[in-house]
Chain A
Amino acid sequence: MTPSGTRGARRKAGRIRAIRLVATREVLERGRSRGYLLSLLFTLFLLAAGFLLPTLVLTGDHPTKIALVGSTPAVLGPALQTSAEQFDATVDISTLPDRAAADAAVRDKTVDAALEVPPDLSTPGELIVLEEAGSQLRGIVSGAVISLRAGSTGQLLIPPSVTALKPPTAENTTAIIFANAGIILMFIGIFTYGTWVLTGVVEEKQSRVVEVVLSTVRPRDLLMGKVIGIGLLALAQLIVLVAAGIGAAQLSGRLSLPPTTVGAVVQLLTWFVLGFALYSTALGTLGALASRVDEAQNAAMPVTMTATFSYIVAIVFVTQEPSGVVARVMTFLPPSAPMVVPLRAALGVIDPWEVVVSIAIMLAAIWLLFVVGARVYTGAVLQTGSRMRLRDAWRASR
């Protein structure tokens, strides 16, 4: 090997050592802090809230719309009203001429359910729903039908049979739960730990320790070590939460894990790493422009807004229409890809080529951002005083 070759190799070894030292310090200092444990608990709390909130909102006070199909016993309507009162609920009753109209109404959600009961009450009849009948709906309808049949003919107390037009499969349910949990974890993780990178950079600047550190470490190695160290903590938390979720699901026996689980988890972890690298590099760079933590949070606003926007769009549009135009476009945009791709993958509606292209774009974006970010970071991190402008920081470093 030529002398310059060995020198180059030695320099590279030195840089890797420096990055490793910085990352190790972050892991040790923050990993055993109370903040890390709190963030784990907080994430669990948010995750639970993320699941419960939609359920709470959806089971609000609005009346359940039930359509009576064809000719039914005249007293069925009032009986349903009475039965609903027992459940402290209200029902909104309409009529439809035949079974075909009932199926159509249920499918396009103009009614929540349709009920077909023979006028002579010879059978308990049939309840038609889209995906599944909730326990409340089932209770109201059964209560009404059974009371009528008991009163008139004294036959067996059998509830109406339930027909779901689009019955959910166990795999489908699990995939949706996984996708939602994954995206919530992704967002919280990127936000929480990205903010750690942001404040970590400002705190080093504010406490002036950065000048001592930079007397031996290159600025971009410091930034990279910080992103890697905090990223490892974030990844560890994500793995713990995912493992806990799968474990809990297995134990409770409520969810059967579909064969796509492994793939979904791998996608989630991969995209978390990519998303974290992108967002925390951006946040660390902007943090270097500020001199105080509150200033940094202002400086970081564009990035946090982008993350929030991507999250909301992913939750709202992509879960509704996972193969729609919005979902497809967002698959290839680096800020939104980390949330959209694993979501679509969990729902099983993404082509492999889309994943490959999206990852390639993402890697290119991370590399570009790191080159630009490292230069801005270098130019800004030793400047004190008021908040720097991005352009000045870019120019300040050679």
Chain B
Amino acid sequence: MLEVLGLTKHYGPVTALDGAAFTARPGRLVGFLGPNGAGKTTTMRCVFGLATPDAGEVRWDGAPIDAATRLRFGYMPEQRGLYPRMRVGEQLAYFAQHHGMPGSEARVRTAAWLDRFGLADRERSKLEDLSHGNQQRVQLAAALVHDPELLVLDEPFSGLDPLGVATMSEVLRERAAAGVAVVFSSHQLDLVEEVCEDAVIISRGRVVADGQIDELKARSGRRHLEVEVAGSGGAWIADTDGHTVLERDGDRVKLLVDEAVDLETLLAAARAAGEVRRFSFEPPRLSEMFMAAVTAPQPTMAEATR
């Protein structure tokens, strides 16, 4: 289990991390969310010793992480990069060996991953001769080739075509199913909602929401309501306390309602306006929760729900 405990990091006058804390469990996919500059990359760099926190620490299986532990981790930085002129096969084997694999095993695992990504025939090609999409696949393979116990990926979906997105999600799900703890950052919230079980939302260096996505949604107290009243033109409802009209489309209105609002009262109001054809109710999208969490004034949601 990965435990990030109270990480604080300042770069001169800039506070990159301000007590960030969360956990990632084996076999779980964690979406690590936050606006640009919230501290996602710095957190990941702290896990790999690429940045040293001013306070707090990162633990793996209850012990502080050292160089030997780190060999069992896989990292894909946001700024992608491999050796452009090095051959694909040798490159992957090189990274596998850096993670402590013997040379022969490294070559076997390299061949297996290249095969998996349909790149078996490019093993002897230089990286720079590959297409952009294939270079991305090699980059992912470089993070996976040594069978890590923890996989940390910074924006793994950015710049991928739909095919690449499908491969990436499939591989991440499969790794999690194999017992790997997977943490990845992303701005594609709908994708995170679809792929991940857990989410961590970080804002201005602090974790403002953390847990199972379903629970976070249930806890958020905000719901979506879609109501269609025949012939009403949507005129039966206006913005008042407790609910916000998100969208009007003829007879249909979409509402965002607080937990406190009595749905019976709302339904009665709709019935009074005409024939109710639709009254559907769903939890908020992750993207809405995200917006609410990162724009919420202090105290943070995490503290409020504690």
Do the beta carbons of B50 and A216 come within 8 Å of each other? Answer: no
Q: Which of B52, B86, B99 contacts A29 (CB 8 A)?
A: B86
| One of A57-65, A89-97, A205-213, A239-247 at the interface | A205-213
| One of B70-78, B162-170, B259-267 at the interface | B70-78
B278 CB–A CB distance under 8 Å: no
Q: Smallest Cβ distance from B43 to chain A, in angstroms?
A: 14
Do the beta carbons of A21 and B98 come within 8 Å of each other? Answer: yes
Do the beta carbons of B82 and A398 come within 8 Å of each other? Answer: no
CA gap between A356 and B99 in the complex, in Å: 41
Do the beta carbons of B67 and A14 come within 8 Å of each other? Answer: yes
**Given A21-B97, A208-B79, A209-B81, A214 and B142 contact (CB-CB distance below 8 Å):** no
CB neighbours (8 Å) of A215 from chain B are 48-50, 70, 73, 75, 77
Contact with B along A217-239 (1 / 0, CB 8 A): 11000000000000000000000
CB neighbours (8 Å) of B80 from chain A are 208
Do the beta carbons of A211 and B82 come within 8 Å of each other? Answer: no
CB neighbours (8 Å) of A209 from chain B are 81-83
Do the beta carbons of A25 and B81 come within 8 Å of each other? Answer: no
Q: Smallest Cβ distance from B70 to chain A, in angstroms?
A: 6
Do the beta carbons of A210 and B48 come within 8 Å of each other? Answer: no
A11 CB–B CB distance under 8 Å: yes
CB neighbours (8 Å) of A210 from chain B are 81
Closest to B54 in A: A398
Closest to B99 in A: A216
CB neighbours (8 Å) of A213 from chain B are 98
Contact with A along B246-284 (1 / 0, CB 8 A): 000000000000000000000000000000000000000
Do the beta carbons of B98 and A216 come within 8 Å of each other? Answer: yes
Q: Smallest Cβ distance from B61 to chain A, in angstroms?
A: 16
Do the beta carbons of B81 and A211 come within 8 Å of each other? Answer: yes
Do the beta carbons of A18 and B98 come within 8 Å of each other? Answer: yes
Do the beta carbons of A211 and B77 come within 8 Å of each other? Answer: yes
Do the beta carbons of B82 and A216 come within 8 Å of each other? Answer: no
Closest to A395 in B: B12
Residue from A11, A14, A18, A209 having most chain B Cβ neighbours under 10 A: A209
Q: Total contacts A to B, CB within 8 angstroms?
A: 66
CB neighbours (8 Å) of A10 from chain B are 68
Q: Smallest Cβ distance from A11 to chain B, in angstroms?
A: 6
**Given A21-B98, A25-B94, A29-B86, A216 and B71 contact (CB-CB distance below 8 Å):** yes
Closest to B90 in A: A28
CA gap between A212 and B85 in the complex, in Å: 16
Closest to A213 in B: B98
**Given A11-B68, A21-B97, A218-B67, A29 and B73 contact (CB-CB distance below 8 Å):** no
Do the beta carbons of B67 and A214 come within 8 Å of each other? Answer: no
A323 CB–B CB distance under 8 Å: no
CB neighbours (8 Å) of A14 from chain B are 67-68, 71, 100
Q: Which of B68, B73, B84, B99 contacts A207 (CB 8 A)?
A: B84
CA gap between A382 and B48 in the complex, in Å: 13
Do the beta carbons of A398 and B52 come within 8 Å of each other? Answer: yes
CA gap between A384 and B78 in the complex, in Å: 13
**Given A25-B94, A212-B77, A212-B142, A207 and B70 contact (CB-CB distance below 8 Å):** no
Taking residues whose C-beta sits less than 8 angstroms from the other chain, chain B's interface range is 20 to 34
B184 CB–A CB distance under 8 Å: no
Contact with B along A88-107 (1 / 0, CB 8 A): 00000000000000000000
Number of interface residues of A (CB under 8 A): 25
B95 CB–A CB distance under 8 Å: yes
Q: Smallest Cβ distance from B17 to chain A, in angstroms?
A: 16
Contact with B along A14-37 (1 / 0, CB 8 A): 100110010001001100000000
Q: Smallest Cβ distance from A86 to chain B, in angstroms?
A: 60
CB neighbours (8 Å) of A384 from chain B are 79
CB neighbours (8 Å) of A11 from chain B are 66-68
CB neighbours (8 Å) of B82 from chain A are 207, 209, 212
Q: Smallest Cβ distance from B94 to chain A, in angstroms?
A: 6
Q: Smallest Cβ distance from B128 to chain A, in angstroms?
A: 10
Q: Which of A29, A211, A218, A382 contacts B85 (CB 8 A)?
A: A29
Q: Smallest Cβ distance from A206 to chain B, in angstroms?
A: 8
CB neighbours (8 Å) of B75 from chain A are 211-212, 215
**Given A218-B67, A382-B50, A208 and B77 contact (CB-CB distance below 8 Å):** yes
CB neighbours (8 Å) of A382 from chain B are 45, 50
CB neighbours (8 Å) of A218 from chain B are 67
CB neighbours (8 Å) of B79 from chain A are 208, 211, 384
Q: Smallest Cβ distance from A221 to chain B, in angstroms?
A: 10
Q: Which of A18, A28, A212 contacts B81 (CB 8 A)?
A: A212
Closest to A29 in B: B86
CA gap between A10 and B68 in the complex, in Å: 9
Closest to A210 in B: B81
CB neighbours (8 Å) of A216 from chain B are 67, 70-71, 98-99
Closest to B11 in A: A396
Q: Smallest Cβ distance from B76 to chain A, in angstroms?
A: 8
CA gap between A18 and B97 in the complex, in Å: 9
Closest to B81 in A: A208
Within 8 A of A (CB), among B25-44: none
Q: Smallest Cβ distance from A386 to chain B, in angstroms?
A: 15
Closest to B128 in A: A207
CA gap between A10 and B100 in the complex, in Å: 12
Within 8 A of B (CB), among A171-211: 204, 207-211
Q: Which 5 A-B pairs have the closest CB atoms?
A: A208-B81, A208-B79, A209-B81, A211-B77, A215-B75
What would 21 A/B residue contacts be, using CB atoms closer than 8 Å? Answer: A11-B68, A14-B67, A14-B71, A18-B98, A28-B90, A29-B85, A204-B83, A207-B82, A208-B79, A208-B80, A209-B81, A211-B81, A212-B76, A212-B77, A212-B81, A212-B82, A215-B48, A215-B49, A215-B70, A215-B75, A216-B98
